[in-house]
Amino acid sequence: MKFNTSLLHGKSTKSYADHSTLPPIAQVSAFGYESAQEQEKVFQHKAFGYAYTRIGNPTLTAFEQRISDIEHATGGVACSSGMAAVTISLLNVLTTGDEIITTSNLYGGTLDLFKDLEKFGIKTNFVSELNPEQLDKYFNEKTKVIFGEVVSNPALQVLDIETVARYAHERSIPLIVDATTVTPYVIRPIDHGADIVVHSSSKYINGSGNSISGIILDGGRFKWDFEKFPALADFKRYGNMAYLVRLKTDLWENFGSCLAPFNAYLNVIGLETMGLRVEQINKNAKALAKALSEIDGVKVSHLSLEDHPYYELCQKQLGGYGGGILTFRVGSKEKAYKTLNALKYVTIASNIGDVRTLAIHPRSTLYIKSSDEEAAAAGVYDDTIRVSVGIEDSEDLIEDFRQAIKQSQN
């Protein structure tokens, strides 16, 4: 079965109650039982069933299974947001005194999270690119996780998953990746060696910008050393499944990270058209990047442009899919604001992965908490505009940006 067929007819798309073609929405807090004995069995995991939505819900299970299959994972946990997913994917294996290695060009929210974790005694070391040479500078016995974005938002740095996974595994630590910007249509990080995959499913998976959510997927292959990872020691009997079992029955449940059932349902609907959307978005972004790069005084960054530093790796690892995010610089903050304000179709909004094209001035919004150095490391300057390309006709998009930039230059 090829990708788009599997989204609709894969093994986890069937067997809903009453032959429903989509998973029914169990919009409830609790599940009622005929007898106390029956409920006891469910609580002791001796019988299959649901008790309380924070601990499990069939609509969430449906979404988790569908995306697990698509990502070639052994299981997944659906969260209330992408940030909830990033947070507990890390805390599931970390304790005070542990260290993380990551890059300085991550999504702004994740950079903020690493500052929060410092107050809990978890230190993050930042490199400009995840490669063996730079990792060697910080790797030590306290390093427990390497974290990276497959394509960083908005710096568009591509992670060499195979190389970094090999480096991590040789040192008995997992590679956790945020694959939000690429989607499983472009790459399944688990097939390339990543151990844990996180998505902000608010973005390309949902696709219509109608609900916030996240998902954590476990490849199920990492061999946990329970002395090195005391956080997982109580789950030793689950072997390779220890991460997923602890996540599901411990952190996810106790942190109250569950997704609303209705939002899980909306994500399943979104998932079914993901292939079509991502294909169109990639085509549009490539056409727009080329058109913008031909305008005097405009500097464009997109992975489809041959002058991009990660062009080769994008061709090799991502099949040439440059993705839906591009940034361009117009010379000054004033011109950036003028451009944004002159756009006719394009909406000024802070989301990505929507069907509609969105644009934002990231320095004054998403990176407002960052210093100039931190923002620059993430590829964000005073005159940068970030675009999340949608599924409109590319001719209309190109025309809209052309006229807006022209107005800003007057």
Ligand X SMILES: *Cc1c(COP(=O)(O)O)cnc(C)c1O
Site for ligand X in 173-192 (CB under 6 A): 178, 180-181
Give the span between the Cα atoms of 129 and 148, in whole angstroms: 9
Q: Which is nearer to ligand X, 200 or 267 (CB)?
A: 200
Residue nearest to ligand X (CB): 82
200 binds ligand X (CB under 6 A): yes
What does 227-263 look like in DSSP terms, one character per residue?
TT-GGGGGGGGGGGGHHHHHIIIIIHHHTT-BPPHHH
352 binds ligand X (CB under 6 A): yes
Give the span between the Cα atoms of 63 and 55, in whole angstroms: 15
* Distance of closest approach, residue 394 Cβ to ligand X, in angstroms: 23
189-218 burial by CB neighbour count: b if 16+ within 10 A, else e?
A: bbebbbbbbbbbbbbbbbbebebbbbbbbb
* Distance of closest approach, residue 206 Cβ to ligand X, in angstroms: 9
354 binds ligand X (CB under 6 A): no
149 binds ligand X (CB under 6 A): yes
Q: Which residue has the tokens 């997704």?
A: 259
* Distance of closest approach, residue 241 Cβ to ligand X, in angstroms: 25
Can you tell me which of 92, 102, 157, 202 binds ligand X, judged by CB under 6 A? 202
Can you tell me which of 212, 268, 285, 303 binds ligand X, judged by CB under 6 A? 212
Question: Which range, of 119-127, 200-208, 217-225, 238-246, touches ligand X by CB under 6 A?
Answer: 200-208
Q: Which is nearer to ligand X, 59 or 110 (CB)?
A: 110
Number of chain positions touching ligand X (CB under 6 A): 18
Please give the structure tokens belonging to residue 112: 């903020």
263 binds ligand X (CB under 6 A): no
Region of residue 344 (left: phi > 0; alpha: psi -120 to 50; beta: else): alpha
For residues 105 and 152, is the Cβ–Cβ distance under 8 A?
yes
* Distance of closest approach, residue 72 Cβ to ligand X, in angstroms: 20
3-state helix, strand, coil in the chain (%, to 5): 45, 15, 40
- Which segments of 273-384 does DSSP mark as H helices, in order? 274-293, 311-317, 333-342, 372-377
* Distance of closest approach, residue 384 Cβ to ligand X, in angstroms: 16
For residues 273 and 3, is the Cβ–Cβ distance under 8 A?
no
265 binds ligand X (CB under 6 A): no
For residues 204 and 198, is the Cβ–Cβ distance under 8 A?
no
Q: Which is nearer to ligand X, 298 or 352 (CB)?
A: 352
- The residues of the shown chain that bind ligand X, judged by CB under 6 A, are 81-83, 86, 107, 109-110, 149, 153, 178, 180-181, 200, 202-203, 212, 214, 352
